Each structure stands twice: as C-alpha cells, then as structure tokens.
A and B are shown apart, each in its own frame.
Chain A
Amino acid sequence: MNVWTMSPLFLRAATLLTLLTAARTTAAQNLVVYADKLYTMAGPPIDMGVVVIHDGKIVEVGPAIEIQVPETYEVRQARIVTPGLVDVRATVGLTGILNYDHDQDQLERSSPIQPELRALDAYNIKDELVTWVRSFGVTTVHTGHAPGELISGQTIIVKTAGNTVEQSLLVSPATIACTLSSSARKSGGKSPGTRGKMIAMLRQELIKAREYLAKRKKSDNDKKPARDLKLEALVKVLRGDIPLMVTANRTQDIASALRVAKEFDIRIWLDSAAEAHLMLDEIKAAKIPVLVHPLMYRSWGEYKNMSWETPMMLRDAEVPFAMQSGYESYVPKVRVILFEAAIAAANGLTFEQALASITIDAARILGVDQRVGSLEPGKDGDVALYDGDPFEYTTHCIGTVINGIVVSEVER
C-alpha cells in the first residue's frame, strides 16, 4: 500500500509513473514539507522532520534523514509544521463578511424549529472570511447554522478550499444545531418565550419524530406517512446517526441538555458551554464532548462567568473538548481558532494540548480523524506552516496546504 517504504529505485519508477499518468492538477498535489520541528499529533514531535504528500494524501512522515524524497515534488519548508487546523464549531461561509442581511445566512428567523435547513445549501466556499481563516492554517471547518433559534438547522464538515461545496465536503449533515439559551427566546407572545417552553417544544418535536420513525418503518407502503423533511432530519438524531449539537452556556441550560439527551437516548455535543467549568462532574458522567466557546468572547450576559481556564479544567476532568471559532454577530466577523487556542495555551493547557484542541481532538470529536487532524500516512495532505511557535502573537502562518495543494502563502 505504501510505496514509499519500498526501495528508492521502485520509488523513482513510481514517481515517474505518477508524473506520466497524472493530470496537471494532480501533479500539483505532490508536495514535500520540511520542518525544523514537526508536530504530527500522532506521536512526539519530530526534529528536522518531513511530510511527503502524494496525490493529495500523506504517504510518509518522519525524520528527514530517514526518508527518501522524490526529487520532482514541490517543496516547502518551515520552522514549525502542524496538521491543518480543524475548527470544531464555526459559522464561517454562512456568516459573510458584512453584518447586513444580504450577507448573513446563518440564522433563519421565520420559525423556531427548522432542522431541515441544510448548511450544504448555504456554505459559500469562496467567502473571503473562509479564505481569511485558511490563511492562518485552518483547513477543515465544522460550520453551519448558528445559535439563536431552538433548532436552527444543520451543520457540515468541509474543507476551506475548493470550487464547490461538494468537492470539499467531508460530512453532511454533521449535526442538528439546537440552542438552549436566552438568545433563542422570543418576545411579544411568540414561542418559545421562556426556558420552560423551549424544552417543552423540543421534547414535543422529538416525540413527533420518534412516532414518525415508527410509522415510516412499517412495511405497508400505504400506511407510511408522507415525507417530512423536519422529522427526517430529527430521525437521524434519534437513530444516533448524528448528534444534536446543543448550544448552552448557563448551568441550568447545560442541565436541560443533559436531561433531554437522557430522556431520548440521543447523542449530544455541548456547544459553547461558558459555565461548563461549574458542571464538570455532570458533563463527565454524561460522556459528552464540549466545543468550548472562543475564549476571547466578551464576558457579559450568558458569558459573564466564562473562564480562560475552562479548557484546562475540562482537561483535568478528562472531558473531551476542542476549541471553536463560534458565531459572532458583530466583530471580529470571524474568529480564528489559532488565536483562541493560544489563549488556552497561555492559561493552563500545555502547548501540545492546545494544539490538539484545534487538530486531532477536534477531528476525533467530529468523527473525521481517519481523514484529518494529524499527519499520518493515508490521511489527507492538510498541513499548516509557521515561522515560530504558532501560538505566539508575533508568529506568522506562512503556508496552508489542503490535499497537497498550497492554498495560501501570504505571511499572515
């Protein structure tokens, strides 16, 4: 399977064969990246390491001295090289650069429960903020509908480069996004107007979906209910195909999320979770991951009790977590997980734990760790290049590689 472990002679022959047969675009997907220090996130860092990418996939990772590198490949070099970064919860690509209606597709306000809204139909792969996060090393995003409605829609996992969303898609749908916070509350007699109503509506909808699932299972075609996109989407959650991603910040909302998950025996991910540090035992017992809000969020309202040490406390409690860029209604219009993880690294996480929270740990939570999140043979050729400690304010991302193609080279 791995031709690069074979003899150099065979290797050259294989390279030649590749060059002869590959189309122009695939030829560009052969790349070698050298690193003074290579963080594979699949073992200890390698001094003077190299990553070899063939046809968009990683074929070899290790000390440069031990690896035969094809001469014809494009070459890049950096002081620090990491896996392409994985953003565990974003809205980028739906939230355009401008805070004006024409540019904002992350939240449909017409009804509080719309699980049928597919992020697939809304992700703008060429949005300039997608390009922006990519220029800091972000190669995979879990993005989609924002918090702000009880069930706001679906999410997808997608790369940050490509011509169409289909080309770059890893998973769709990835989750159904649910909000249990005052941001999903309505005024003027509309529902849900209270937290109690929110949970009642959510439970009722899940019960409906359960009944729908039971009816759809009937073999008699005449008795099957008509297709219902809303309920179809929720059935995926009930069957355990995908999780319900619940945005909850206050302890009572986190408790509600755990209660609903237990009642319906569904998988949930806890999103944002500003007060997760006050609920560590409960979250650990529920065996759910936490997608931690950006640490540079503003500490007022539901975030008033947030802590820069939440990632450290989750680590100590052995709760799986990853750092996210989240949703921002004002500015910065998109946050950058590299910057957010840096604050975690400065507040109790080790360098490698912080890096894991935006690479392999994020990929594991998202269930795409067979494709991305670490530099290992067989995985996608997604790499980030830095001219120093990636978390330092003054370090630049000097290159981003997706599927072996250098997609960003501005010194950012």
Chain B
Amino acid sequence: MFPHRLGLGLVAVALGASPLAAQTTPIAYEKVRLIPIVGDEIEDGVFVIQDGKITAVGPRGNTDVPANAERIDAGGKVIMPGLICTHSHIGGIGGADGSKPIQPEIRIYDSLNVRDPGFIRARAGGLTTLNIMPGSGHLLSGQTVYVKLRKAEKIDDMMMYDADGKPLGGIKMANGTNSQKKPPFPGTRGKSAALVREKYIKAREYREKLRKAANDPDKMPARDLGLEALVEVLDGKRVVHHHTHRHDDIMTVLRLAKEFKFRVVLHHISEGWMVADEIAAAGAPCSIILVDSPGGKLEASRLSFETGAILERAGAKVAFHTDDWITDSRLFFRSAALGMRAGMSRAGALRALTLAGAEMLDLQDRIGSLEIGKDADYIILDGDPFSVYTKVLETYIEGKKVFDRTDPNDRLIAVGGLGAGVEQRSYLCCQDDGEHAE
C-alpha cells in the first residue's frame, strides 16, 4: 500500500513517539537544571517536548509552557541531550571475515542482534545514538550503522534512515598493527597504504564508468557491492571512521584522505597529542578513547589522558567514544570526565559526549543538543554529569522512555547481577585471547 521503503524512516522520525496521534500532550519539565550544549547551562530551566521533538527550552520565566502541557516538577535534576557514541561494538556484531583485508561490501547491519543486552547497558549509561562498527583487524572491515537505542523487536526499527529510506552509516577503516598479519593481509605499513590506494583507484574508475553510463542499462558496469560502497565514500555520502594510533599512522590517514578526498573521522589516536596541530590544520574530527593506563600494544603505549585537552587547544573537534566492550557504555561520562581532569574545558567535555559526535555522524541537525526542533533524545541525571556519584535516572528517545532506573529490569542492567551479562563478547575479527583487538 504505502511505499514503505521510501520514506519509512522519515515517517517514523516525523511522528516519533506516536505514529497514530497527530498531536500528543506536550510534556513540560520545570525546576530543571538544563545542559543544552548549545548555549550556557541553565540553573532553573524549563524543557518542553511534544510528538518526539523539543518544542521549548530556556530559563524559567522566559520560556512559555503550553497551557495543555503535562507539567513535571524535576526538583533540580539535570536534563541534557542523550549521549552519542561515535564508536561502539555492541549488538553481538561480526563484520568482515579473514578472507581479505578490504571488504567494503560487508554491512554490520546484517549482523546486529536486537536483543543484545549491550543495548540496554548503553541506555543505562545515557546513550541514545551509536555508530556501531566492525572491528579493526582489516584495512577496511565494512559499513557501519548509526542507530537510535529505541526499544525494538527488529534491528530495522533502531536504524536511522536518510530521505531515501537508506540506512545511515559510515565505513570502518584501520591502519597500524591490528590489520597487519599473514597474506593476503598486509605485513607492513607501506603495503597497507598501497592496498588501500589501489582499491580507491579502482573505486574511482568504477565511479567514472557509472557516470559515463548515465543510467543506461546497456552501458552500466556489473554491480560490485564493495565498489558501490566506496563510491559513496568518494562522493562524501559515507564518512570514513578510521582506527589509527601512532602519530605517523595518523598522518598516513590524512594523506590518503587528501588524495582521495574522502571525509574522515580519526578514531582512538593514542598519539594524536603529538600531531595535534596537523590534525587541526587538516580539519579532521577526532573520536578519542581514554583507558585507565597506557599500553597493551606498542602503538598505544604513549596514550595520554591529555589527548582531549591538547586537541581542544589546537582547535580540533573532539568527541569521546566507548569502544564498548573496551570501555563500558554505563561509564561513558567517566571518559569525558577524565579528559576534563587532564585539562579539557567543561563545555568541550560535554560537547564531546553529544554534539561533537553528532557532527561526526552528520546528524547535528537532528540530535546532540537541546534545541527547538531537534529529536527529544534526552536524559535525566540526579547530579552533575561529571561526578562519579551521579546516576542516569531516565533515558528518552524521541520522547519515549527507554530506560528507567526504578524499573527492576533496567536497574539490573545498570548495576549488574544475576542475568545482566552475556556469555560471549562481540566478535571483532582479530582478538586471539583478547590480545589484538581494538
């Protein structure tokens, strides 16, 4: 009946929480401490949502509350946007296999388990949007997906879609030691870059053939799922999310991005602090991780808590990521707080959990801040976001509650206990005894 593929996403997004009702009752939170991300924090604010969207946000007295609104006295609790993780591995995923080092045809979409408790754990941490990626054991391990942590029975209902109804996502690449192994994988850094360049040159030629064919079925090249994905990368429609640690590997990524004009987000960058000015000059956004000590692999042995601060001072865009299971989604605030401990500004640390991540996923018009017209993705906290003692009380996506700490099932996941965890972790393609993964 309705052209369901085309526009399904738009319809779902537009109607948000209530696909049937045209208008639902607005909900107005009062006596709330607002952290809107865009603009100053508001000590005594009002926050109004309706039909899955934010309809008002501002200080009490200056902000109109609709007459028909259901009013909630928040009693001084904190409301801020749902957190955005630009690099997660939850969902029981499996990406590219061991057959070759470059596999752009792989969609992580096809391996997600909607019932993975990792999704609940992420909601418990206040996360609402994730970029779920395959692992780093390949030069290119597949297409990533941007998902909202909606309660869903099938993964399609968690996906985010573009105007044509296509699922949104980027592509995962990696360099450095994780993707170096026995043939057909590269054994050196030089070979790694050469293989990537060869593939992108092929993609360019493929794109040229597509252009010349101009949709004439007789002239179209044979469909190649991998090259099709890389054409999207070359066209700037699909962002490259690039795992890279060492300072020279980071420079290699920037060099390749320049050559093929692909849009890139630098991920992890343990040694990013050494080339912060170069990163800033290239305008490459950085999605970083902090773990509790340096080391593991050689290229992460100079990891620093100060990376975020140094990049911020250099003028680079910084987001944090969980890399879940490397760090736990329930402790996402902790990552940014440790960054702040090492010199990041509070505003920068808050942005690094929200709007900066949205920008790296091209979703800044829909999520990442409390602004009128954006999705009503928000969380309620019982204290300052950067205190260890603070709890995420409730998490909302498009106006719908998806986590409630007072619900025994949700609480079990939030603190752990019998039945909270899983038998197996996600398959990231390259860990042996947990030694060579992310």
Q: Render A387-412 as a binary contact track against B, CB cut-off 8 A, 1 for contact.
A: 00001111110000000000000000
Given the known interface contacts A132-B294, A394-B341, the answer about A345 and B415 at a Cβ–Cβ threshold of 8 Å is no
Chain B: minimal CB distance from A375 (Å): 24
Contact of A330 among B294, B298, B386, B437 (CB under 8 A): B437
Give bound CA distance, A307 to B413, whole Å. Answer: 9
Give bound CA distance, A346 to B388, whole Å. Answer: 6
Q: Quick check: is A332 within 8 A (CB to CB) of the other chain? A: yes
Give bound CA distance, A222 to B341, whole Å. Answer: 67
Q: Quick check: is B389 within 8 A (CB to CB) of the other chain? A: yes
Q: Quick check: is B61 within 8 A (CB to CB) of the other chain? A: no
Q: Quick check: is A303 within 8 A (CB to CB) of the other chain? A: yes
Q: Quick check: is B420 within 8 A (CB to CB) of the other chain? A: yes
Q: Render A155-177 as a binary contact track against B, CB cut-off 8 A, 1 for contact.
A: 00000000000000000000000
Q: Quick check: is A306 within 8 A (CB to CB) of the other chain? A: yes
User: B-side binding surface: helix, strand, loop or mixed?
Assistant: loop
Q: Is the beta-carbon distance between A335 and B293 smaller than 8 angstroms?
A: yes
Per the CB 8 Å criterion, the residue count for chain B at the interface is 40
B425 partner residues in chain A, CB cutoff 8 A: 298, 300-301
Candidate in B291, B325, B333 with the most chain A CB atoms within 10 angstroms: B291
Chain A: minimal CB distance from B260 (Å): 31
Chain A: minimal CB distance from B212 (Å): 49
Q: Is the beta-carbon distance between B326 and A305 smaller than 8 angstroms?
A: no
A128 partner residues in chain B, CB cutoff 8 A: 295
B window 406-429: CB within 8 A of A? 415-425
Q: Quick check: is B387 within 8 A (CB to CB) of the other chain? A: yes
Q: Quick check: is B435 within 8 A (CB to CB) of the other chain? A: yes
Residue in B closest to A343 when the chains form the complex, CB atoms? B388
Chain A: minimal CB distance from B291 (Å): 4
Q: Quick check: is B292 within 8 A (CB to CB) of the other chain? A: yes
Candidate in A133, A330, A347 with the most chain B CB atoms within 10 angstroms: A330
User: A-side binding surface: helix, strand, loop or mixed?
Assistant: loop
A329 partner residues in chain B, CB cutoff 8 A: 433-435
Given the known interface contacts A298-B325, A329-B433, A345-B389, the answer about A305 and B292 at a Cβ–Cβ threshold of 8 Å is no
Residue in B closest to A278 when the chains form the complex, CB atoms? B418
Q: Is the beta-carbon distance between A396 and B434 smaller than 8 angstroms?
A: no
Q: Render A245-286 as a binary contact track against B, CB cut-off 8 A, 1 for contact.
A: 000000000000000000000000000000101100000000
The contact size tier of chain A is 35 or more
Q: Is the beta-carbon distance between A392 and B417 smaller than 8 angstroms?
A: no
A334 partner residues in chain B, CB cutoff 8 A: 292-293, 295
Give bound CA distance, A99 to B388, whole Å. Answer: 30
Q: Render A297-313 as a binary contact track against B, CB cut-off 8 A, 1 for contact.
A: 01111011111110000
Chain A: minimal CB distance from B47 (Å): 26
Q: Quick check: is A14 within 8 A (CB to CB) of the other chain? A: no
Contact of A129 among B293, B300, B328, B333 (CB under 8 A): B293
Give bound CA distance, A392 to B388, whole Å. Answer: 6
Contact of A305 among B301, B328, B417 (CB under 8 A): B417
B296 partner residues in chain A, CB cutoff 8 A: 97-99, 330-333
Q: Is the beta-carbon distance between B295 and A333 smaller than 8 angstroms?
A: yes
A300 partner residues in chain B, CB cutoff 8 A: 325, 421-425
B424 partner residues in chain A, CB cutoff 8 A: 300-301
Give bound CA distance, A304 to B293, whole Å. Answer: 24
Give bound CA distance, A278 to B418, whole Å. Answer: 8
Contact of A299 among B292, B416, B434 (CB under 8 A): B416
Contact of B421 among A133, A299, A335 (CB under 8 A): A299
B418 partner residues in chain A, CB cutoff 8 A: 275, 278, 305
Q: Is the beta-carbon distance between B338 and A309 smaller than 8 angstroms?
A: no
B325 partner residues in chain A, CB cutoff 8 A: 298, 300
Q: Quick check: is A317 within 8 A (CB to CB) of the other chain? A: no
Given the known interface contacts A298-B325, A299-B420, A339-B292, the answer about A308 and B415 at a Cβ–Cβ threshold of 8 Å is yes
14 new A-B contacts at CB < 8 Å, known A96-B295, A300-B325, A301-B423? A99-B435, A277-B417, A296-B331, A305-B418, A306-B421, A307-B416, A329-B433, A330-B437, A331-B295, A331-B326, A332-B295, A334-B292, A336-B293, A396-B341
17 cross-chain CB contacts under 8 A: A277-B417, A299-B420, A300-B325, A301-B423, A301-B424, A304-B422, A304-B423, A305-B420, A306-B420, A309-B417, A329-B435, A334-B292, A336-B293, A345-B388, A391-B388, A392-B387, A393-B334
Q: Which 8 A-B pairs have the closest CB atoms?
A: A304-B421, A393-B337, A299-B421, A97-B295, A333-B295, A332-B292, A307-B416, A331-B296
